[in-house]
Amino acid sequence: MALVVARGGSLARAAEALAVDPATISRRITALESALGVILFVRSKLGVTPTDAGLAVIARAAEIEQRAMRIEDDIAATATSRGAVRVAGGPWATARIARAAAPILRRTHPQLELRLVVGRPPIDLPGGEPAIAVWFEVPTRFGEFAIGLGDVPYAFYAAVDAPGDALPRVAHRNEDGPACELDRGLQSFIAPGERFALTATDSLILREAAAGGMGSALLPMCLGDEDARLRRVGGPVPALVRRLHVHTHPDTVQLARVQATIECLRANFDAIFGPAPAFRPAPR
């Protein structure tokens, strides 16, 4: 209980994680403090802050949790028990993992269960939950660290029946923060003051807009090359290359299920995120 409260930073977030009401969390923490004879958390309007005694209890609880998860991994290696790994990422990257990585993991590690979570950074990776996140240029936070997976090539695509290459642009746009590498990279391909026909926060949406005839879109080549509705247009290939990272937490990165997931993504990177093996230009 103390560990969940510490990771959540507030009674409300701990209650959400455990699917109970905050009053129940408060009562249980008070009961634990009474049993130990110490104050574990200082409560305020901004949340909770562990005391020195609280930090000691949290550290011990984390050790117990890690031992329990390692026992689960040891059992899973010799029995039919399954272990779960939460994998978070943007819509298009998560879709690629579901399509290309999940079947490989299922064949090689049938006891492993992927829990795919679509979102936008930041997504917390609590130390006690086997979880990773797949992002491009996103800073690490709360003890996370990032491991480079590989480079994703991008090119411009438009509908196969779009007239010529001088087309309006449909573009990625980060609505919740500063421009990302994809937003900035696009600037070198557009005229000053050029307006976009459409913007979106994910490449799957941009692919549909390009296929529908809205204009040309800068897309991951693994999405563009496989789509018979699209053709490459203009400029060098690739037009942009972005480094994809997997974020994880030091508390859980050594778990066998987390290691297996990361190794699958690294070993099969080209099949998951790289360009299609062969590109057949669409008829003009």
CATH code of residue 25: 1.10.10.10
End of a domain among 28, 56, 77?
77
Axis-axis angle for helices 22-36, 11-18 (nearest 10):
110
Residue 234 counted as domain residue: yes
Query: Do 6 and 141 reside in the same domain of the chain?
Result: no
Q: Which domain holds residue 218?
A: 151-242
Residue 278 counted as domain residue: no
**Which CATH number goes with the domain that contains 107?**
3.40.190.10
Query: Do 37 and 95 reside in the same domain of the chain?
Result: no
- Specify the pLDDT at position 75: 57
Residue 115 counted as domain residue: yes
CA distance 117 to 97: 11
Query: Do 118 and 143 reside in the same domain of the chain?
Result: yes
- Map residue 264 onto helix, strand or coil: helix
Query: Do 48 and 111 reside in the same domain of the chain?
Result: no
Query: Do 122 and 180 reside in the same domain of the chain?
Result: no
Query: Do 224 and 90 reside in the same domain of the chain?
Result: no
Asked if residues 212 and 162 have their Cβ atoms less than 8 Å apart, the reply is: no
Residue 280 counted as domain residue: no
- Specify the pLDDT at position 98: 96
- Specify the pLDDT at position 82: 62
CA atoms within 13 A on the CB side of 274: 12
Residue 268 counted as domain residue: yes
Strands, E assignment, the chain: 41-44, 47-50, 83-89, 112-118, 131-135, 145-159, 169-172, 198-200, 216-220, 230-232, 240-248
Query: Do 202 and 163 reside in the same domain of the chain?
Result: yes
- Specify the pLDDT at position 80: 36
For the question of whether the overall pTM of this predicted structure is more than 0.85, the answer is: no
For 88-127, the pLDDT digits (tens) are 999 999 999 999 999 999 998 998 899 999 988 877 776 6
Query: Do 222 and 266 reside in the same domain of the chain?
Result: no
Backbone angles phi, psi at 216, to 5 degrees: -100, 145
- Specify the pLDDT at position 14: 78
Adjacent-strand bridge partners of 208: none
Query: Do 37 and 164 reside in the same domain of the chain?
Result: no
Q: What's the average model confidence in pLDDT over 124-137?
A: 82
Residue 279 counted as domain residue: no
How far separated are the first and last CA of the chain, in Å rounded? 63
CA distance 136 to 242: 7
Query: Do 24 and 127 reside in the same domain of the chain?
Result: no
Residue 284 counted as domain residue: no
Q: How many domains does the chain have?
A: 3
For 197-217, the pLDDT digits (tens) are 899 999 999 999 999 999 999
Residue 281 counted as domain residue: no
Query: Do 71 and 23 reside in the same domain of the chain?
Result: yes
Does residue 248 surpass a pLDDT of 50?
yes
Average pLDDT, the chain: 84
Does residue 68 surpass a pLDDT of 80?
no
End of a domain among 77, 102, 129?
77
- Stronger pLDDT, 235 or 169, i.e. the higher one: 169
